[in-house]
Structure formats: C-alpha cells, structure tokens
Structure 1
Amino acid sequence: MNTRPALAQRISVASDRGFKYLMIAPAILILLLVGIFPLVYSLVVSFQNITMTEVDTSFAGALNYVQLFKDSRLWESLLHTALITMVALPLELVFGFLLAQLFLERFPGRQIFVALLVLPTVISPIVAGATWRLMFDVRFGPIGQILSFFAGEPVNILWTVNPSFVYPAIVVCEVWQWTPFMFLLLLAALSNVDQSQLEAAEIDGASYWRVLRQIVIPAITPVIAVAVLIRGLDLVRIFDIIWALTEGGPGSMTETISLYAYVIGFVQFDTSYTAAVAFLVIVILTAIVTIALRRMEMVR
C-alpha cells in the first residue's frame, strides 16, 4: 500500500498550519507585551516598597496587601463605587428600555431623534462632568434658575458640595450620559423579537404586561445581560465624571476606587501600594465577571 500521498498531505497540512501560526505570531507577541508585561510588572512592584521618597526594590513580602485590609479609606471608596453602581445601573437599564419601547415603532424623523439621543454617549466623560458642574452652579447654572422659577423664590442648592445632593448630582450626570448606550442595545434587541409570537399573543388576547413578561423579556435577556455586564464594569472604574464634578468631595465622600488609586498613585506617589490596590480591583472584577458569565450560561 502506497502511503506517500497521505504522508505528503499530512506534511502539507502541517506546513499550512505552521505558516498560519507564523503569520499571527507578531500580533500575539505585541498583545502579550502590551497586556501581560505591565500586569506582571505591576505584580512585582506590589511586593516592593517604592514611594516618592524611597525606591526600595527588595522583596517586601505581603506588606502592601496586609495594609489593604487596614485601610478604611480604601473600603469606603469601594462602598462609594458600589453605591453609585447599584443606583445608576438599574436606572440606565429601565430608562434605556423605556426609550427603546418608545422608538420601536417607526415614525417620521425617527432616525434624527435616535441620533440626537446618542449624542451624550459620544461626549468625553470629563467634558460631560465639567458641563454638568457648570449647570449645577449655584449662581449661574440653569438648573438652579429653573428650580427658583418654579419655587417662586431663590433656590440655592450646592449640588457638588452638599452631602445630601452630591450623589444625586453624580447619578443624574451618569444616567444622562450612558442611558443612550442601553437604549441602542435594547432597541436592536427589541427589533429582532419574533413578530409571529407577538402577533399570536395579540390574537389570543394576551395583555401587554403578559406579552412583555413571557415573550419580550425572555427573548432579549442575553442582550440585557451583556449590556448590564458592560455598564457594570464601566461603573466600577468610574473616574472622569466624578473627578470633574466633585474631585471626590466633599472630603472623600464621593471618592471611588479609581479616584483613590489615582490619589495614592499620582498625588502621594505610593507606587507599590497603588499596584496592590490595582490587583485588588482586578480580583474583584474577575470575580464579578466570572459570576456574571456563569449566570448567563445558566440562563442560556
């Protein structure tokens, strides 16, 4: 039996496979250098003692990681981050869904209105935060003037200073900017719901809420899960809007984990401790993503 053709074919397949790997090797190498090297280097730095006044590259053990559990300001910043996330994320999801339902039907000028609604998303968060800070200005901001008009007397609310109003100001700015993101994803998902099922439910006399609960929501659940995961991760690392609005104030009341890492890393220059904080955030985000992906698999 002549095995030369089969052997030649195997050699050809192996050669083609090796050529493909050779072609993508430079891209993989660049990705590893850009992604893995900083991560490994930061891990090494977190076990050292590098500060603004001292560059001690010797092994310091788990000193920085032990300090994490004693740092009350760190855990307060995590609590602030969780608070903003738990309030802003559901609001963005609900408002985005309502807008998607509103624009699901075609009407004249629909594309123009959709384009206008998406504008806040394309604005830089630092610009959005600075703009809203001007709008909340107690003397010249339009929000105070509008409230004063309806109240019939001057309304002087220090939105970015008063502890009772600073979180509502942050949430309003965040929801204003990122609700259109939810809106676009949910509009695309709702547009792809099986119309035959909706028509059959309408013929059977099913109510709007029953159709929504038993047909629409299950059909778009995967998209909702992805949208919530993306926005949730983005909210965990929120920085720009809060920095422009409050800079973490009053005091450290609105200081999120990203702001805290910035302060200790680029204001206090405690480099090694900042690296330890970064790895704590990585662990938390990894746990959140893992749990979310498992739940998505269960839903699927």
Structure 2
Amino acid sequence: MSESATSAMAAGGVAAPAGHAPDRFFKYWLIAPAIFLLLLVGLFPLIYSLIVSFQNITMMEVDTSFAGFINYAQLFKDARLWQALLHTALITIIALPLELVLGLLMAQLFLERMPGRQIFVSLLVLPTVISPIVAGATWRLMFDNRYGPINQIIGWFAGEPMTILWTVNPNLVYPSIFICEVWQWTPFMFLILLAALSNVDKSLTEAAEIDGAGYWRTFFKIVLPSIWPVMAIAILIRGLDLVRIFDVIWALTQGGPGTMTETISIYTYVQGFQQFETSYTAAIAFLVIAMLTVIVVWAIRRMGLAK
C-alpha cells in the first residue's frame, strides 16, 4: 500500500481507486440540473423582458432593433399609469391596516380555550382558500342590484326596495372592494397572529399583572414586542399581495367605473394583452420591480428584519 493511501486511511478517509482522481465538483454536478431549471424558469423571462423593453414591439409592428429609452421616457408622461399606482397605494394603505387590526382582534378572541374553538377557526379560514377570482365574482353577484342578496337585505330593513349600484357608483366602488378584500384575507392575518400570540411567554404577562400593569400596558410592552417579528412578516406578505392585486378588482369592476379602480396590475394587463403594447408593458413591469425593490428593502430595514 502506498504511503499516501496509508495516510488517508489513517486519517479516517477512504482512498480513491488507483488511477482515478476524486471529483471535487461532483456535488455541484448533482445540483446543476435543478439550478439550471430554476434559472431557465425564473431568470430567462426577466432578462428577455428587459431586452424587449428596449425594443419597439407592438400589435402593428415588430421592431426588434434597439430603441433606446423611449419606452421608459414614456412612463413619466403617462398620467394613467401614475393614477393606477395611486389607486394601488390607496387600496394598500386602507386594506392592510384593516386586515391587521381585525385579524389581531380575532386572534385575541380565540386565544383562550372555548367550546368548538377548532371548528370556528377552521370555518373562519375558509375564505382564504378560495381563489381570488372566484371570491370577486361571488361578491359581484352578491352586490348585484337585481339578484344580489345584499340590496334585498338592506331593503328589508329600510321597508322599501333599495337600488344601490355598488360596483358602478363612484362613492361605493371602493367600499365594495375593501369589503371583499378584507373578508377574504383577514383570516390569513388572524391565523398567523393567533399562532404568534399562542407562543407568547405567559409567565411574563402574569408577572406584569402581578406588578399591577393594565391590559394595554402589558400588550404594548410585552405582547406586541414578542409577536412583532411574525407580525412584520405578515404585513410584508400582505402588502406585496395588495400591491399586485388584480383578481378581485378585475372580477368586481374590471378597473371601472372608467379607470377609477384601475390598479397597476390591471393597467399592465390592459397594455399588454388588450392593446398589445409589448415593449411598453415590459418597461412598466421593470418600473414596478424597481419600486417594489426599494419599498421592500426599506420595509425590511424599518421593521428590523435585516440583521
């Protein structure tokens, strides 16, 4: 036995067969197909869209030559685009706190043991598992002036038939969106916050009560700091979902009346798949990606999630 093989075996290793050098990169070859597939599915569309954004591809012509920053310059002149961003921000700013507060209140309610607790929690989570497009279509039927039950119930209380155009009246269209969105996604916040509250160290809250701390003082000084990391993640996830909201609004209003409820996702869909402004749509997509990257990085640092 050679001296090198003897030393290797003495060190607890296994000597390579004579004439065959060990392949140090074998483990990388094993995971290479999976990495390649992920890059193909995720990275290739991104790079291709970036290339298309510097071209001039529309329904009428396919000009694949370099067009410069003409599409990106058009973004700053597009008033409808910035209105869509404003609508998206409005929905996010209002719906997210509502879902957070209602979810927290529901989690506090079901924190203590109660008869049928598991059944009630299961029923409350059901709206979350429904497809958003189905939820939007269902609420559109419920808001329907002629056949929907909501106007009929209001009419019973009012003592006369009520004609309320929920998805057409400019004063009611946003409340109808908030009702549908909060109904579907508050259980998501509730479930996450319930799990977080269940893991709070009860010895700390009991010690605070013994020391004479009230409910709100205990909540803000002990409970909230304990659940904040989980709450921050839930806020971030729902915030990103609301920024890209499409299904519910498309099923309810299709961005109407006019373009009053048109979000950035709906506007991008209209430009890309109805007006076939392919290159301009790619430029919009990269504008949204850049804005979301800045917002997410800021939110992660602000929430203290980055260590």
For 2:292, give the aligned amino acid. Answer: L
Encode CA deviations 1:42-65: one digit per residue, 9 max, x unaligned.
000000000011000000000000
Cα drift, residue 80 of structure 1? 0.3
Matched, 1:129 2:136: yes
Choose from 84, 92, 95 the match for 1:88: 95
Cα drift, residue 269 of structure 1? 0.4
1:252-271 maps to which residues of 2 (within 5 A)?
252-271=259-278
Measured on the aligned residues, the alpha-carbon RMSD in Å equals 2.0
Choose from 202, 216, 230 the match for 1:195: 202
Matched, 1:40 2:43: no
What stretches of structure 1 of length at least 5 have no aligned partner?
Answer: none
Cα drift, residue 164 of structure 1? 0.2
Cα drift, residue 18 of structure 1? 2.6
Q: Secondary structure at the match of 1:238?
A: coil
Choose from 213, 219, 230 the match for 2:226: 219
- In 2, the alpha carbon distance for the partners of 1:254 and 1:76 equals 9
Cα drift, residue 298 of structure 1? 6.6
Equivalent residue number for residue 209 of structure 1: 216
Give the TM-score normalised by structure 2.
Answer: 0.92
Equivalent residue number for residue 64 of structure 2: 57
Distance change in 2, residues 1:17/1:193 (3 Å): farther
Cα drift, residue 19 of structure 1? 2.7
Choose from 273, 277, 280 the match for 1:273: 280
Distance change in 2, residues 1:41/1:108 (3 Å): same
- In 2, the alpha carbon distance for the partners of 1:115 and 1:41 equals 43
Structure number having the greater helix percentage: 1
Cα drift, residue 294 of structure 1? 1.2
Equivalent residue number for residue 145 of structure 2: 138
Q: Percent identity?
A: 73
Equivalent residue number for residue 70 of structure 1: 77
Distance change in 2, residues 1:19/1:85 (3 Å): same
Cα drift, residue 11 of structure 1? 9.5
Give the TM-score normalised by structure 1.
Answer: 0.94
Equivalent residue number for residue 163 of structure 2: 156
Cα drift, residue 185 of structure 1? 0.4
- In 1, the alpha carbon distance for the partners of 2:15 and 2:265 equals 53
- In 1, the alpha carbon distance for the partners of 2:181 and 2:23 equals 50
Cα drift, residue 155 of structure 1? 2.1
Cα drift, residue 6 of structure 1? 6.8
What stretches of structure 2 of length at least 5 have no aligned partner?
Answer: none
- In 1, the alpha carbon distance for the partners of 2:280 and 2:213 equals 59
Choose from 118, 126, 140 the match for 1:119: 126
Distance change in 2, residues 1:201/1:175 (3 Å): same
Distance change in 2, residues 1:271/1:102 (3 Å): same
Question: Do the aligned partners of 2:245 and 2:263 also contact (CA within 8 Å) in 1?
Answer: yes
Cα drift, residue 154 of structure 1? 2.4
Q: Secondary structure at the match of 1:164?
A: coil
Distance change in 2, residues 1:219/1:16 (3 Å): farther
Cα drift, residue 35 of structure 1? 0.5
Equivalent residue number for residue 110 of structure 2: 103
Give the total of aligned pairs.
Answer: 298
